[in-house]
Amino acid sequence: MNEQTTKNVCYWDRQAEDKSKNLSKPIHNLRIEKDRPIVMKDDVRLYCDVYRPDDKGKYPVLVGFSPFGKTAQAAGRKRDPIQLGKFMYEQGIEIGGIDYFVSRGYIVVVVNPRGILNSEGICTGVLSIQDQADCCEVIRWAGHYLSDGNVGMIGCGYAGKIQPLVASMNPPYLKAIMPVDVIDDLYLDCYPGGILSDINYPLCSYIPHTNTVSEAELENSKEDLLKMLNEAKKQPEIATNSYYYRGLDSYPPRHYTWNIDVMLHPFKSEWWDRRSFGDRNLTVPTYIVGLYYEYGHSAISAYDIYNKLNKNTPKKLMMIDPATARTSPYEKPVPEQLRWYDYWLKGIDSGIMDEPPLKLLVMGENRYRYETQWPCDGTIYKKMYLRKGNLLSEAPESLSEVAPDTIRHIPPIRLSQMPEDVPALVYTSRTFTVDTEICGPITACLYTSIDIDDAHLAVKLWDKDSESGYRTLLSTGYLKCSRRKLSEESKKHRPKNTHTSEEPIIPGKIYEYIFEMAPVDNMYKKGHQAEIEFKTMDQQYFDFNELASLPRLYTSGRVAGPHPLSKEANFSVYMDSNHASWIELPVTEKQKTWVE
């Protein structure tokens, strides 16, 4: 890690800067012990690299457990952080700051999980129960043989998401965690709004597995598995996509087995619960670092897991950054991790206990501020209504007879389309006359009819500069029409769709579709506008006049996300007084406590 990145840390206040002199100093040389074996309870051997101070002492240990393996993490040591969207950005590098921590008196253990590279056993997909149990054994081993009795965990992406799952199993020696990226409901990350997403497909190609089998193959008879494969192949979006279909059209299904498991579990179920935080409890101090992904379920998961942590958790903190600030390796949080682990693993007064629990990056303002709860105290939820003439208004339509706006969906298999050519209905607000912060959950409500039995809805919220036209994507929301039913878990301002079954759509009938979008914290500056975009498919793409994180994950800038509907369809979006379509924005007007 470049030492310069630890100076003038943008999210530290003066108190943190003052107490940084107490932090562990870079006084140790580094020694690597490669391919040390760790024997699991079933005698399977995992292999790890141990990065440690070059002496015989025992130190606190930080464990990194990533499905992309230890070779990718070692490669991250040899580069300065590469920003999202830049040449040679690599998503598989999940564990940053290795040299930084070792020089300051920590041992870092980076593992090849089961079935990855030279580790024995079978890989059964990311965040599996087997990986969670194995990670507990790694922590126990590191605590017993390497540590001074104190173990923590580091890593982003899957190396972050596995931390709360493992910590809920209470492995010995684990004293604190600081995950960068978490997941509360993995189903919604893979099926946003109940629509199969291809985001997992490229991730599968990054996993260097040498022995992999889907859990569906391990848990079902040949007869039942063949039936599951055949049912999956009947899904139109799978049948028309060779990337998906090829994995299902062989037996045993061994091509990208994680993606196969995703496709074979299209509804929420116990299978997804195994890999999600859900109703677990944590009894170790937890500092969550979340990212404002405008897609997927990571951003809302950070808030939801934070709010679920109760009095059993000795201390909980959270910091939120925009996803577009991410780098490979992601080393921006490393100085904060040092403050956290210096306190909990070494007993150093780092000042980390003296701050408010939430530290949020306000997009638009590009400054951090402190907060005591989420959503913020005194949040005012304001609906903005879709109106004729492409207007987004604070007042709904007063007339009962207003013609709906219409849009026709032609799937990519029927018409070759660039993403920017996909038709959209756009509704733009008047310019903000004062700076206005929205911070919290976003909800969309569309009154829509379609002329077929099912379809996909996509809504996007933008911050638009009225002068330049430059747009920043803040939030997206998706819903498969047949998944419109709200669950008993729904709360005011936090709708939850069930996703355990499908309810048929009557063509031509107007339905109310309410669904949750990604949360935001954004300052609409004076002169900017809120803009809503309704689309029938949402292939993310790179545009020099827009800022969004998903396209920047890939050098090509072309990646789909939720899979497009495979049938042609006509949509009508209603906005009359009886069918007022809207988006709800959480406005906070409270006095800001900026991180100075």
| DSSP code, position 387 | E
Query: Beta strands of 54-133 (E only): which ranges?
Result: 59-65, 82-83, 107-112
Alpha carbon distance 356, 594 (integer Å):
11
Q: What string of pLDDT tens digits covers the 596 residues of the chain?
A: 545 445 568 899 998 999 999 999 999 999 999 999 999 999 999 999 999 999 999 999 999 999 999 999 999 998 899 887 777 878 899 999 999 999 999 999 999 999 999 999 999 999 999 999 999 999 999 999 999 999 999 999 999 999 999 999 999 999 999 999 999 999 999 999 999 987 777 777 889 999 999 999 999 999 999 999 999 999 988 888 887 888 898 899 998 899 999 999 999 999 999 999 999 999 999 999 998 877 778 889 999 999 999 999 999 999 998 887 788 999 999 999 999 999 999 999 999 999 999 999 999 999 999 999 999 999 999 999 999 999 999 999 999 999 999 999 998 888 877 777 888 999 999 999 999 999 999 999 999 999 999 999 999 999 999 999 999 999 999 999 999 999 999 999 999 999 999 999 999 999 999 999 999 999 999 999 999 999 988 865 445 456 665 555 544 333 457 888 999 999 999 999 999 999 999 999 989 999 98
Question: How far are the Cα atoms of 12, 227, 252, 418 from residue 221, in angstroms, in the given order?
Answer: 55, 10, 11, 43
Whose tokens are 């701050």? That residue is 355
Alpha carbon distance 184, 293 (integer Å):
14
Helix locations, 397-531, DSSP H: none
SS3 213: coil
Alpha carbon distance 123, 213 (integer Å):
6
Alpha carbon distance 180, 466 (integer Å):
34
* Phi, psi (deg, nearest 5) at residue 229: -65, -45
Question: Which value, in Å, is the radius of gyration of the alpha carbons in the chain?
Answer: 24
What pairs with residue 547 in β-bridges?
472
DSSP conformation letters of 406-433: EEEE--TTTS---GGGS-EEEEEPPPPS
pLDDT of residue 1: 55
pLDDT of residue 241: 81
SS3 201: helix
Instruction: Give the HSE-up count for residue 411: Cα atoms under 13 Å, Cβ half-sphere.
Output: 16
Contact between 188 and 122 under an 8 Å Cβ cutoff? The reply is no
List the domains of the chain with CATH numbers. Answer: 3-180+282-355 (3.40.50.1820), 188-273 (no CATH), 380-590 (2.60.120.260)
Contact between 509 and 449 under an 8 Å Cβ cutoff? The reply is yes
pLDDT of residue 247: 85
Neighbours of 553 (CB within 10 A): 20
Alpha carbon distance 138, 521 (integer Å):
37
Give the CA dihedral 177, 181, 186, 188, nearest 10 degrees: 140
Sign of the four-CA dihedral 139, 142, 143, 149:
negative
